[in-house]
Structure 1
Amino acid sequence: MRLDTLTWTAPEPAPLDLAVTAELRRLIDGKAKPPGALGRLEALAVQLGAIQGRPDPRADRAVVLLFAGDHGLTEDGVSSYPREITAAMVRLILDGRASVSALARAAGAEVRVIDVGVASDLAPHLALQIAKVRAGTRNAAREPAMSAEECARALSCGADVARAAVEAGAEVIAIGEMGIGNTAAASLLLHRLGPAPLDDCIGAGAGHDAEGLARKRRVLAAAAARSDAEEPFEVLRQFGGLEIAAMAGAALGAAAAQRPVVVDGFISTAAVLVAARLQPRVLDACIFAHASAERGHRIMLERLGAEPLLDLGLRLGEGTGAVLALPILKAAAAMVREVASLAEVLGPA
């Protein structure tokens, strides 16, 4: 389906397999437990199987696709950290010493970093894919963050990376990000695509004090006033980030390849908001990991009709919340495959 006649064709998410849904509900209701006794775990198992199109869902091979990019908005002080921290944190992730690295090891997940827009060059690494569209976005308070071509390239990059991960054997795709200033971009996306009042969308990000938060609000108000874009691709082009565009593409690519998409926090959910405005059916494949402490995330989840699995007060990003949810997916799949049926317990009539 052509969604923007001038720019980008979004992958079609695969429809849920309704026959598998019915079969899984029958199987789970017949397990050696009272019907519904495992609560949301049962619904999650059904969703996994329906996405994958199989009555024995799998979630053992999980890959975290962590997209990295810088933001021109940092020129105006929307973040309490300089943009150089993006590259520094990517290096820390590649060294295996970041928060997401430790949590991914504990969950048995692989982390891959995709540089779609870091403003400096990164040294080669086996877990790093260089797919740089440009060295950071432009300052969205003064001009469009991306050209149409750049935005389309970032979207396509994400879709291609997700498809490649599935072809390599990934059973679950988790999306995460690294990019100083990206809560500002996500706030603008929520404001325009939610929609929601701008002030309700703006939070402290990585740790603004009152003065920094006031400055962030002024800058984002100027950005919002600069463009009245409402169409999703154009909103993304005007206000988004390269890593946000790539995550949106990855969600669509994974959904088209019949793989569940585990969504991290505020910025990752903003990417899914874009993807859902392009292709609403992508939400069938999305599993929202947690409710972030970042202001605006609950609004975003409500707009998407999403119910997150966890609420731990997280506000880090990096895909950390998505990684913490992975053991729950593994447990849901294992429940279907490994729990005995009631008939086995009772024996022959």
Structure 2
Amino acid sequence: MAWYLNNAAPFHSDVEQQAQQYQLTLTKPPGALGQLEQVATRLAGCQGQVHPELNNIFISIFAGDHGVANQGVSAFPQAVTTEMVKNFAQGGAAISVLARQLKAQFEVVNLGTVFEVAPHTQIINARIAPGTQDLSQVPAMTREQLEEALAEGLAAANRAKDMACELFIGGEMGIANTTSASALAAAYLKMPAADLVGPGTGLTEDKLPMKAQIIEDAIALHNAQTPLDQLQCLGGFEIAGLVGAYIGCAQMGVPVLVDGFISSAAALMAQAINPSISPWLFYSHQSHEPGHQKVLAALNAQPLLNIGMRLGEGSGAAVVVSLMQSAVALHNQMATFSQAGVSEAEE
């Protein structure tokens, strides 16, 4: 059996329930901290301890170009993917700034830029090919390339586990990857592409029908029925890398914080391939990209923020880490009614 079909690590539902009971003893009305309470108790279930910890963060950015960019679905040239990979490594991108703020472990995994990237200590060169094939004409990847991209995601999960990380964030970079993500969501959810496509990196509104039609034609061309086939025909190297990382982290007992639209599309495919990973996925925010809300609804996800972000790179997830750390601090450090000498509610 392929490694990505193996079950996720056991989630400690009993410990989550103990943490929920502990929440009821804290000096506040039940549920007054909203989703922050659920974050803390779910992390307790992940870690198998009533008082979870959240200090060591691991961020892995996967990069890859898309052949479908040749169809004019992006406002930016493919050279931007390579240029942004360099920017990530040199510390100038939004996610680079946020990673420093969080004192997170940070790496960039080049799975397939069109242009070669100069060696750098923070860049892992795992280039499968100079971009995927044009998904509107042929399958984006061969099955061997898909397996390689998934395995590179697993390798990132292994590095995160080796660093004893308590939360994994996967980011992505790839011109035209909103087209790929929209195609995956449309194919898997059997939804019209027009309900999912958005501007991505700045495509003008008058070109959105063209983008949707390219996706519809690609879905009809390939007629891929299984999640793996859909990922092979319509996905990207960086999206498949995220899928492998999410599954690998869940198998190793490492919680995942999912970023925006592209990352959520990867989570959708990862969960379709291996439903057992669901308890290990947290969702950070709802992005401004139109299809994201529909993907989150399909995942039955409750994102923690909605502040109009749509940058990708893992940036929205990195912003949400501080909220999750606040949730853990409140859970662990608030006084109980008995400790504070505060009267509890009358029954």
Q: TM-score by structure 1 length?
A: 0.94
> Are 2:64 and 1:59 equivalent residues in the alignment?
no
> Are 2:137 and 1:142 equivalent residues in the alignment?
yes
**Aligned counterpart for 1:331 among listed residues 319, 326, 330:** 326
Q: CA deviation at 1:9?
A: 3.8
> What is the match of residue 264 of structure 1?
259
Q: CA deviation at 1:29?
A: 1.4
Q: CA deviation at 1:336?
A: 2.4
> Are 2:8 and 1:13 equivalent residues in the alignment?
yes
- The C-alpha deviation readout for 1:245-266, integer Å capped at 9, x for no partner, is 0101111111111121100101
**Distance in 1 (alpha carbons) for counterparts of 2:174 and 2:54:** 28
> What is the match of residue 131 of structure 1?
126
> Given the superposition, is the C-alpha separation of residues 210 and 28 from structure 1 closer, same or farther in structure 2, using an over 3 Å criterion?
closer
SS in 2 for 1:250: helix
> Are 2:32 and 1:37 equivalent residues in the alignment?
yes
- The C-alpha deviation readout for 1:284-305, integer Å capped at 9, x for no partner, is 1111111111111111011111
Q: Compute the RMSD of aligned alpha carbons.
A: 1.6
**Distance in 2 (alpha carbons) for counterparts of 1:194 and 1:15:** 28
**Distance in 2 (alpha carbons) for counterparts of 1:312 and 1:205:** 17
SS in 2 for 1:323: helix
**Distance in 2 (alpha carbons) for counterparts of 1:11 and 1:265:** 26
- The C-alpha deviation readout for 1:135-155, integer Å capped at 9, x for no partner, is 210000000000111101111
The unaligned stretches of length 5 or more in structure 2 are 343-347
**Distance in 1 (alpha carbons) for counterparts of 2:99 and 2:61:** 12
Q: Structure 1 stretch 139-148 or stretch 213-222: which is displaced more?
A: 213-222
**Distance in 2 (alpha carbons) for counterparts of 1:22 and 1:298:** 29
**Distance in 2 (alpha carbons) for counterparts of 1:179 and 1:127:** 18
Within a 5 Å distance, the mapping from 1:138-287 to structure 2 comes to: 138-287=133-282
> Given the superposition, is the C-alpha separation of residues 136 and 238 from structure 1 closer, same or farther in structure 2, using an over 3 Å criterion?
same
> Are 2:79 and 1:84 equivalent residues in the alignment?
yes
Q: Confirm or deny: 8 A CA contact 1:109 1:323 kept in the other structure.
A: no
Q: Structure 1 stretch 36-45 or stretch 103-112: which is displaced more?
A: 103-112
SS in 1 for 2:5: coil
**Distance in 1 (alpha carbons) for counterparts of 2:48 and 2:6:** 18
**Distance in 2 (alpha carbons) for counterparts of 1:262 and 1:307:** 12
Q: TM-score by structure 2 length?
A: 0.95
SS in 2 for 1:34: coil
- The C-alpha deviation readout for 1:51-97, integer Å capped at 9, x for no partner, is 12222211111111110000000111111111110000111111111
